[in-house]
């Protein structure tokens, strides 16, 4: 499967994620915006529009935590109704980083979130894996093209 221990990394190593990404997933439009690395962090936003209305959206951050990087996600439904408690977020640790792939492991679970950029097409793909549910179906992927 994938690594399970956080790795030392600089936020600059995720520079390839910066920008506006748009795609389609399960009959809806998906978008992610990622800032440039600044102040030791990336800041992002995700939204999923289905049938002309927001399905849900997220505020995203990747920040330095000592020598490692931590990915935090806050989910919201329409009306900005939060899914997590006020001071809580979904937290994932960076466990692998290359110039075209970042793998994060959700704290407390064996659930990986993988971002992979295809250098030849520029496409960005994101998906989840667990030991019991390895990635095998393109239907479960979030595929983006840079805008």
Q: What is the pLDDT of residues 51-99, one digit of tens each?
A: 999 999 999 999 999 999 999 999 999 999 999 999 999 999 999 999 9
Distance CA 146, CA 94 (A): 23
Task: Determine the Cα angle at 145 with ends 9 and 127, to 5°.
Answer: 55
* Among 79, 76, 103, CA closest to 89: 76
Please tell me the pTM assigned to this model: 0.94
Radius of gyration of the chain, Cα coordinates, nearest whole angstrom: 15
Q: What is the pLDDT of residues 105-132, one digit of tens each?
A: 999 999 999 999 998 999 999 999 999 9
Q: What is the pLDDT of residues 49-58, one digit of tens each?
A: 999 999 999 9
What are the structural domain ranges in the chain? 11-146
Q: What is the pLDDT of residues 16-48, one digit of tens each?
A: 999 999 999 998 999 999 999 999 999 999 999
Distance CA 3, CA 38 (A): 27
Task: Determine the Cα angle at 115 with ends 61 and 67, to 5°.
Answer: 50
Cβ neighbours, 10 Å, residue 46 = 19
> Which superfamily is assigned to 11-146 in CATH?
Calycin beta-barrel core domain (2.40.128.20)
């Amino acid at each position: 499967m994938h690594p399970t221990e956080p790795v030392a990394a600089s936020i600059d190593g995720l520079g390839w994620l910066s920008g506006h990404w748009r795609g389609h997933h399960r009959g809806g439009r998906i978008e992610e915006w990622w800032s440039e690395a600044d102040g030791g962090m990336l800041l992002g936003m995700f939204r999923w529009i289905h049938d002309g209305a927001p399905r849900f959206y997220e505020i995203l951050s990747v920040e330095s935590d000592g020598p490692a990087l931590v990915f935090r996600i806050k989910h919201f439904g329409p009306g900005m109704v939060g899914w997590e408690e006020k001071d809580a977020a979904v937290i994932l640790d960076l466990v692998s980083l290359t110039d075209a792939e970042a793998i994060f492991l959700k704290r407390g679970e064996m659930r990986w979130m993988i971002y992979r950029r295809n250098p030849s097409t520029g496409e960005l793909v994101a998906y989840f894996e667990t030991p019991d549910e390895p990635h095998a179906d393109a239907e479960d992927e979030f595929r983006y093209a840079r805008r």
